[in-house]
Chain A
Amino acid sequence: MKTLSQIVAELSHLPGVVASMVVGAIDGLIVETSGMKDTGPGATDPRKHTAALGAYLYSKATRAADAARLGTPAFMRLEAQQGHICVVGARDVVLVTIVTPDANLGRVRLDMMNAAQGIS
C-alpha cells in the first residue's frame, strides 16, 4: 500500500499535472501535497484555495448525484479556460489535481481513480 506522499508524488509526475493534493473531505484542509509546477516568480500559490473549494464542490456534487439517485460520483472534472481541476473521492479524503489544458485527461483520470482505490 502506497503512502499519501507517494500517491501525490506519482500523480504530480504525470504530464500536465501542475499539482496534486490529498485533501480532507469534510474540512477541506490539505493532508498531503506535491510541489507546484510551472509557477512564475511572484505567482500566488493556488493550492490551499483549490483544495478547499475542490473538496467543497465534490461534496455538493455528491449531494447532486445522490439526489438524482446516481450513487457516489466516481470522478469530477471542472474545465476552465486555462486548465482543469480533477477530484476523486476516497473515503475520508479527496484527491485533487490541477491540470493543464493539454494534459492527457484519460491518463490523469485513470491514475487518480487507481490511487483512490489504493487509499480506500
Chain B
Amino acid sequence: MSDPTVAEGWVSVPLRRLKDDARLISGVLLYPTGRAVGQFGFSNAADVMSICALTSAINASARELGRQLDGKPFYETHHAGADRQVFMARCAAGGQELLFVGVFDRESSLGVVEIYFAEFQQALTMLRPEKETKGTGPTGDFEGELNRSLDALFGPLGKR
C-alpha cells in the first residue's frame, strides 16, 4: 500500500495512522468544497478528482436527505459492496470542516474503521490546517480549487 501524499503537511501523520490502523485500501481527505487535502491508494489524479467531486456531492445530498428524513443531517455514510466497502464521514480541524472517504475490504471491518476514524477525528481536532478556508460553502471556483489541490498531490498537469 502506498504512503499518503498530502497537499497540506499537517495531516500526513494522522492520515498515515488511519490508513495503517484501519487497514484501508484507499482514502481521500478533502474540504467540503472538493479541495483534496491528502490521499492514499491512488496513483491517478483523475481518480482523486472524481472522488472529490462525488464525495462533495454525496455529502451535500446526505445532509439534505438526513434533514428531510430524520430532522438532522446524516454525517456518516457506509456502503457495503460485494468485495469492497466505502465509508464516508466528516471531521474537523481548527474549526474547519473536512470530509473523509475510505475504501476497505475483508481485511478490515466497519467496526474497526469506525473506531480508528474516531481516533483520527480526535487527532485532527488538536491540529490546525495550514490554509484555513473561509466558510464551508463553495467558493465559486470548484474546478480551480480542485486542480490546485491535485497539483499539490500529484504534481502539475503534464508532469503527473
Q: Which residues of A contact B (CB under 8 A)?
A: 23-24, 26-30, 48-49, 51-53, 55-56, 59
Contact = CB atoms under 8 A, between A and B. Distances in A.
Interface string B74-98: 0000001000000000000000000
Interface string B105-124: 01011111011000000000
Contacts, number: 36
Q: Give the size category of B's interface with A.
A: under 10
Contacts of B108: 56
B110 A53 contact: no
B76 to A, nearest CB: 13
Given A23-B111, A29-B110, 14 more contacts: A27-B80, A28-B111, A28-B112, A29-B114, A48-B114, A48-B115, A52-B109, A52-B111, A52-B115, A53-B112, A53-B115, A55-B111, A56-B108, A56-B111
A56 B110 contact: no
A25 to B, nearest CB: 9
Contacts of A52: 109, 111-112, 114-115
